[in-house]
Chain A
């Protein structure tokens, strides 16, 4: 027999968020009735730009896509085929898009080396800015963008670390604060694949434009494109930054002319918290895929992009084990491997970008600092840049006081 309880038993558990958090979160994603739609343009219609364009089709109560920009015509044509993209005006030069008065806000999803210049121009043009991660290519650009954003308090600058906008990651941050993990000493992060990380190139002359991630001039490599999400989450969840960064790596399998490494490992020391962070990515093995484990004296949290499990340590488990049975409106559901699923309520989780863009809309309307803002974006960008310096230069990089931004 099955009971109505079944449905939410699957989706909730001991670790479902408190009601109060839910109300705040829910409020963030409900549009005020009177607010008007944000007219938005997308600068850069590659994988990420068109990915966000698809998400925007689910947020038509908040956004109207009015402009698309890319200097490759076939990309513009592809973007126009997505949802309401056909109605958008197209541009090959982003300056022209920024001049358009019909555009209130822009998504910037261009190669990393261009982030700073396009964001700077967008701010100067008075636009609201959703800037893809990593925020900037290097530390000086990060510090300068913070300065520029501070001069424009009425404009929003949100950075696209979208994963941590998922209610799951908010719940994990809350659990850390509530002491479920005890004292955290180690965090393991991986983002592995078994593949070249290349995109198909229609003609050889476009190689550097399309596969910009392979070239140091444009890209921060695996650290910037992948590991930055986990670096940013740790900064946010523990309100901290890495004090020391060690790194190594190489072009160890794909000797195909690329300059950025296909195999990297970074260690970071968070001195104030007493945490060691381990960050790795390879293009030569897919077994672990995305891995994110936070290890504390009371328990471990193991995270995927949209799933989380809490594993209590033996002594924590004893608190449960001293009883012979548990009564509850919904009971604790243990995994076969001794973990408790972390869940966030009755609704299935959406893509992190859906929550991130919803909150961007709210931040613009309420003139509030987004959770992923220019300051946290700069902290993550500085960490990534330190990691890349350590990897490429075989040095130990240290956090500098001038990176502390508020």
Chain B
């Protein structure tokens, strides 16, 4: 009978913490013994870096960006690009993994810029932007123009927590919470209390909210939870303030009332792709979009015209809210 999962009473909490992808990760899982170690996690993370990291020279994504035509894709690149293309189509191009040259021109890349880009510069860059210029063909990822530049940073953290969750699952672990850079994948319960995991949603730090408290706490059995926000990253050019999310259609920063969007989806990769797109839609369009997508639940914080901060959520999200 050794194939049966251990009795629940024997489940203990194990925690793994570390640094990855320029941020920290934290894994809690419940098992009879330490089935998954830090070394296992580090190996997985290194594998993802070798595929998706723009900061690792020679990574597959950097090879693709340097190539005129394309590269042979590994499993990670295929899964993430397939999701990126699917969400690109589903959101009418508001999530676009080729937007990076615009992000760089606006000074949100790794290099500082002195001034916002000119209209002419934006038009020139736009010619190389657009995920319709990307194709998964057979075992390859190809592009229509050499200038097309792929950047999966917006969704790679969501994907990474999914991969780490799969690592736990492969060791028959069914109760866990994986968090990396504020993106979360969760399944099961805590032991011995048998309570669901509690996930706090960080509040935007504006002065009119009560200090030192979470905005909301949700509890869910399984799924991915990610947040995209405009509230901490912006540039100021004289009187003009630019947020860091750039509209891939126009080449200019999105200007709307949304401050942050938290998405709950079956997995974190999906949630991470849609949270960015929803931020770009504005409140009314985002809520309409969510009505048509039953598998997504969302919590939105926004600014009213008078400057005060308000929040709203889909009915499905409200059911996840912790009673406390």
Cβ of B199 < 8 Å from any Cβ of A? Answer: yes
Q: Which of A4, A9, A26 has the most CB of B within 10 A?
A: A4
Cβ of B73 < 8 Å from any Cβ of A? Answer: no
Give the complex CA separation of A130 and B149 in angstroms: 52
Contact of A326 among B213, B214, B236 (CB under 8 A): B214
Query: Smallest CB–CB gap between A314 and chain B, Å?
Result: 13
> Interface segment, B18-26, B82-90, B137-145, B312-320?
B18-26
Give the complex CA separation of A346 and B106 in angstroms: 14
Query: Smallest CB–CB gap between A311 and chain B, Å?
Result: 12
> Interface segment, A16-24, A59-67, A85-93, A116-124?
A16-24
B45: nearest chain-A partner, CB-CB: A1
B202 with A9: CB separation less than 8 A: no
Cβ of B63 < 8 Å from any Cβ of A? Answer: no
Query: Smallest CB–CB gap between B286 and chain A, Å?
Result: 15
> Interface segment, B64-72, B118-126, B175-183, B289-297?
B175-183
Cβ of B132 < 8 Å from any Cβ of A? Answer: no
Cβ of B6 < 8 Å from any Cβ of A? Answer: no
B161: nearest chain-A partner, CB-CB: A325
Query: Smallest CB–CB gap between B13 and chain A, Å?
Result: 10
Are A324 and B197 also in contact (CB < 8 A) when A4-B103, A178-B207, A346-B235 are?
yes
A326 — which chain B residues lie within 8 A by C-beta? 179, 182, 199-202, 214
Cβ of B157 < 8 Å from any Cβ of A? Answer: yes
A4 with B109: CB separation less than 8 A: yes
Q: How many residues of A sit at the interface, in one of the four size bands?
A: 35 or more
Give the complex CA separation of A21 and B205 in angstroms: 11
Are A327 and B200 also in contact (CB < 8 A) when A12-B232, A20-B207, A174-B207 are?
yes
A17 with B202: CB separation less than 8 A: no
Are A1 and B229 also in contact (CB < 8 A) when A323-B217, A324-B190, A328-B202 are?
no
Give the complex CA separation of A329 and B198 in angstroms: 18
Q: Using a CB-CB cutoff of 8 Å, which residues 6-64 of chain A contact chain B? A: 6-9, 12, 14-21, 23, 26, 30
Give the complex CA separation of A312 and B49 in angstroms: 35
B177 — which chain A residues lie within 8 A by C-beta? 324-325
Cβ of A162 < 8 Å from any Cβ of B? Answer: no
Q: Using a CB-CB cutoff of 8 Å, which residues 292-341 of chain A contact chain B? A: 298-299, 312, 316, 319-320, 322-333
A322 with B153: CB separation less than 8 A: no
B182 with A327: CB separation less than 8 A: yes
Cβ of B186 < 8 Å from any Cβ of A? Answer: yes
B186 — which chain A residues lie within 8 A by C-beta? 324-325
Are A4 and B153 also in contact (CB < 8 A) when A298-B212, A329-B229 are?
yes
Query: Smallest CB–CB gap between B212 and chain A, Å?
Result: 6
A8 — which chain B residues lie within 8 A by C-beta? 232-233
B22 with A9: CB separation less than 8 A: yes
Cβ of A137 < 8 Å from any Cβ of B? Answer: no
B182 with A330: CB separation less than 8 A: yes
Cβ of A272 < 8 Å from any Cβ of B? Answer: no
Cβ of B184 < 8 Å from any Cβ of A? Answer: yes
B23 with A5: CB separation less than 8 A: yes
Are A1 and B56 also in contact (CB < 8 A) when A9-B22, A324-B28 are?
yes
Contact with A along B43-72 (1 / 0, CB 8 A): 001001100111110010000000000000
Cβ of B277 < 8 Å from any Cβ of A? Answer: no
Cβ of A270 < 8 Å from any Cβ of B? Answer: no
Give the complex CA separation of A1 and B228 in angstroms: 19
A17 — which chain B residues lie within 8 A by C-beta? 205
Give the complex CA separation of A8 and B112 in angstroms: 13
Contact of A5 among B22, B190, B307 (CB under 8 A): B22
B205 with A16: CB separation less than 8 A: yes
Cβ of B270 < 8 Å from any Cβ of A? Answer: no
A27: nearest chain-B partner, CB-CB: B239
Contact of B199 among A3, A14, A30, A324 (CB under 8 A): A324
Are A323 and B236 also in contact (CB < 8 A) when A5-B23, A331-B182 are?
no
Contact of B206 among A9, A18, A316, A327 (CB under 8 A): A18
Are A328 and B227 also in contact (CB < 8 A) when A1-B55, A16-B232, A178-B211 are?
yes
Contact with A along B276-316 (1 / 0, CB 8 A): 00000000000000000000000000000001000000000
A322: nearest chain-B partner, CB-CB: B198
Number of interface residues of B (CB under 8 A): 66
B212 with A312: CB separation less than 8 A: yes
Give the complex CA separation of A329 and B279 in angstroms: 11
A163 — which chain B residues lie within 8 A by C-beta? none
Contact with B along A177-219 (1 / 0, CB 8 A): 0111000000000000000000000000000000000000000
B105 — which chain A residues lie within 8 A by C-beta? none
B262 with A327: CB separation less than 8 A: yes
Are A328 and B229 also in contact (CB < 8 A) when A319-B212, A323-B199 are?
yes
Give the complex CA separation of A12 and B202 in angstroms: 14
B56 — which chain A residues lie within 8 A by C-beta? 1
Cβ of A256 < 8 Å from any Cβ of B? Answer: no
Are A333 and B24 also in contact (CB < 8 A) when A15-B205, A298-B212 are?
yes
B48 — which chain A residues lie within 8 A by C-beta? 1
Give the complex CA separation of A210 and B211 in angstroms: 49
A2 — which chain B residues lie within 8 A by C-beta? 21-22, 53-55
Q: Which of B22, B179, B232 has the most CB of A within 10 A?
A: B232
Are A6 and B22 also in contact (CB < 8 A) when A324-B28, A325-B186, A330-B182 are?
yes
Cβ of B129 < 8 Å from any Cβ of A? Answer: no
B200 — which chain A residues lie within 8 A by C-beta? 320, 323, 325-327
A3 with B156: CB separation less than 8 A: yes
Contacts A3-B153, A327-B184 given; 6 further ones with Cβ under 8 A? A4-B110, A7-B110, A16-B232, A324-B190, A327-B202, A327-B225
Which 4 A-B residue pairs are closest in the complex by CB-CB distance? A329-B229, A6-B22, A328-B202, A1-B53
Residue numbers of B with Cβ under 8 A of A are: 20-24, 26, 28, 45, 48-49, 52-56, 59, 103, 108-110, 153, 156-157, 160, 177, 179, 181-184, 186, 190, 197-202, 205-208, 211-214, 217, 225-236, 238-239, 241, 244, 260, 262, 307
**Sampled A-B contacts (27; CB under 8 Å):** A1-B20, A1-B49, A1-B56, A2-B54, A3-B54, A3-B181, A4-B103, A4-B108, A4-B109, A4-B244, A6-B22, A6-B23, A8-B233, A12-B233, A16-B205, A17-B205, A18-B206, A21-B207, A26-B236, A174-B207, A298-B212, A319-B212, A319-B214, A328-B229, A329-B233, A330-B202, A330-B229
